Amino acid sequence: MAKEKINEAPRSVEERLKTLYQLQTILSEKDRICNVRGELPKEVQDLENTITGLHTRVQRYSTEIADLESKRTDESNKIENKKMLIERYTAQLDNVRNNHEFDNLNKEIEYERLQITLGEKTIGEIDRTIMARRNDIQATEQEIADQTHILDEKKADLDKIIGETRSQEEALIEKAKSLEPLVDERTLTAFKRIRHNARNGLGIVMVDRSACGGCFNRIPPQKQIDIRTHKKVIVCEYCGRLLIDPELAQEAIDELK
Ligand SMILES: [Zn+2]
C-alpha cells in the first residue's frame, strides 16, 4: 500500500471510509494480540503493588523495632542510675546519725528498688514486642519471597508473549499511525470515541443484510442507500458506529494487503 499523507486536499467520503475500515482492521488485529496477553499485564502489576506494600510493611516494623530499642536503652539507663543511687544510699547507711535518717534512706532504697522492678517489667514488655515484630518481619519476608517467585514466573510468561508479538504489534501501531492523518479529525475523533466505548472495539462496521454489523439493528432503507452511495458518513442510529457497505470494506481490505 503506497499512499502519501495528504492533508491539504479534502478526501472523499469514500476514501475516508475505506481508510477508517483499514484502520479498524489494523486496530482489531492489535486488540487480538493484546487479548492473547490477557490478564497477565494486570496480574504482574497487581503482584508488583502487593510486593511494594509488603516492603513498606517490613520498613514500618523495622522503624517500630528501632523505636522500641531506643526506649529499651532509656529504660536500662534509668535502671543503672537507680542501682547507683541504691549503692550510694546503702553506703550512707553506715554513717547515719539517727533513726530518722536511717528510715529515710531505707525508704529511698525501697522506692528505687520498686522503680527498678517496674523498669524491668517494661523492658520485658518491650522485648516481647520486639520479638513479635521480628517474627512479623520474618513472615513478611517469606511472603515477599513467595510473591516474588510468582511474579518472576508471570513476568517470564509475559515477556515471552510480548516478545513473540512485539514486532507484529509495533508494525500495526506504525501502520495505524500512518493512516490516521488520512481521515478528517472530526470523523477520526468520533471513530476513536465509539471504538473506545464499544466492548468489541469496533468503531466502524459493515452493513450485514440490511442491519448494523455492530448492534444488528435494522438500518432504514434511505440510510442503506446513503451508505451504498458513499456520499455521506452514516452512523448507526442505535449504537453510533460508522457504517460501511461490504463492497467498499472489501476494497479497503484488498488495498491493505
Ligand atoms: Zn449499530
State the distance from the centre of ligand 1 to the C-alpha of 193, rounded, in angstroms: 14
- If asked whether residues 30 and 61 sit together in one domain, one would say no
Does residue 176 carry a pLDDT above 70? yes
How far apart are the C-alpha atoms of 59 and 37, rounded to whole Å? 34
| 3, 4, 76, 229 from 72: Cα distances, Å | 78, 77, 6, 87
| Number of domains the chain is built from | 2
State the distance from the centre of ligand 1 to the C-alpha of 205, rounded, in angstroms: 8
* Per-residue confidence band for 3, with pLDDT thresholds at 50, 70 and 90: very low
State the distance from the centre of ligand 1 to the C-alpha of 47, rounded, in angstroms: 39
pLDDT score at 1: 43
- If asked whether residues 45 and 143 sit together in one domain, one would say yes
Does residue 8 carry a pLDDT above 80? no
Domain boundary among 164, 195, 220: 164
User: Pairing mode, if any, of strands 242-244 and 204-208?
Assistant: parallel
Q: CATH code at 46?
A: 1.10.287
Segment 13-38 shows an average pLDDT of: 92
State the distance from the centre of ligand 1 to the C-alpha of 245, rounded, in angstroms: 13
pLDDT score at 257: 82
Segment 33-54 shows an average pLDDT of: 92
pLDDT score at 135: 98
In a domain, 5, yes or no: no
Residue 179: CA count within 13 A, CB half-sphere: 25
State the distance from the centre of ligand 1 to the C-alpha of 199, rounded, in angstroms: 13
- If asked whether residues 127 and 233 sit together in one domain, one would say no
Does residue 222 carry a pLDDT above 60? yes
- If asked whether residues 76 and 109 sit together in one domain, one would say yes
- If asked whether residues 57 and 117 sit together in one domain, one would say yes
- If asked whether residues 158 and 98 sit together in one domain, one would say yes
State the distance from the centre of ligand 1 to the C-alpha of 219, rounded, in angstroms: 8
pLDDT score at 30: 93
State the distance from the centre of ligand 1 to the C-alpha of 191, rounded, in angstroms: 13
Average predicted confidence (pLDDT) for the chain: 93
In a domain, 32, yes or no: yes
- If asked whether residues 118 and 144 sit together in one domain, one would say yes
What is the model's pTM? 0.59
Nearest CA-CA partner of 123 in 60, 79, 58? 79
Tens digits of per-residue pLDDT, 14-26?
999 999 999 999 9
pLDDT score at 199: 81
Which domain range does residue 241 map to?
13-36+184-256
State the distance from the centre of ligand 1 to the C-alpha of 11, rounded, in angstroms: 25
Tens digits of per-residue pLDDT, 124-134?
999 999 999 99
Segment 207-233 shows an average pLDDT of: 94
* H or E element at residue 241: none
The residue type found at 129 is T
Q: CATH code at 225?
A: 1.10.287.1490
In a domain, 7, yes or no: no
Domain boundary among 130, 164, 198: 164
Cβ partners under 8 Å of residue 86, min gap 6: 109, 112, 113, 116
State the distance from the centre of ligand 1 to the C-alpha of 233, rounded, in angstroms: 14
pLDDT score at 9: 56
pLDDT score at 207: 96
State the distance from the centre of ligand 1 to the C-alpha of 120, rounded, in angstroms: 79
State the distance from the centre of ligand 1 to the C-alpha of 240, rounded, in angstroms: 6
- If asked whether residues 159 and 74 sit together in one domain, one would say yes
Segment 80-102 shows an average pLDDT of: 95
Tens digits of per-residue pLDDT, 143-157?
999 999 999 999 999
pLDDT score at 4: 46
Helix axes 99-179, 13-37, angle to 10 degrees: 140
